[in-house]
Amino acid sequence: MFNFDDANKKSKEAVDTALRTYSDTARGFQAIAAEAAEYSKKSFQDAVTHFETLAGAKSFEAVFELQTSYVKSSYESFVSEATKLGEMYADLAKSAYKPYEAPIAAAVAKTGRQVPPATPAAA
């Protein structure tokens, strides 16, 4: 027989989980946006400083050395930031999935089926 109290309880739990997940996801995206904005600001300031220094260079060799140094540091900074943002996105995805992990596993166990392992998409 259908129990309305159980259904009401399960519905409330589902809504609470969805709201909590939404809130956590929104905070994660805000953190990612803040990090990207901070990196953009720093990158722009570094570029302005570099061009001011470049304008004061007295020889072609000095310009070449300054430019080489700037490109190298900019590339390293970009790779570091891209890695950091990638980790932030991965953590966000894991935290968004976590509340649903147990209910999905329970539902799959109830059906008696096994979930096939994830396979990488064909390139």
Q: Would you write out the chain's pLDDT as a tens digit for each of its 123 residues?
A: 667 787 788 888 888 888 888 988 999 999 999 999 999 999 999 999 999 999 999 999 999 999 999 999 999 999 999 999 999 999 999 988 887 787 788 778 887 766 566 666 554
Residue 34 CA to residue 20 CA, distance in Å, equals 21
Both ends of the chain: CA-CA distance in Å? 50
Residue 117 CA to residue 121 CA, distance in Å, equals 12
Name the percent of the chain in helix, strand, coil, to the closest 5. 85, 0, 15
Residue 96 CA to residue 20 CA, distance in Å, equals 9
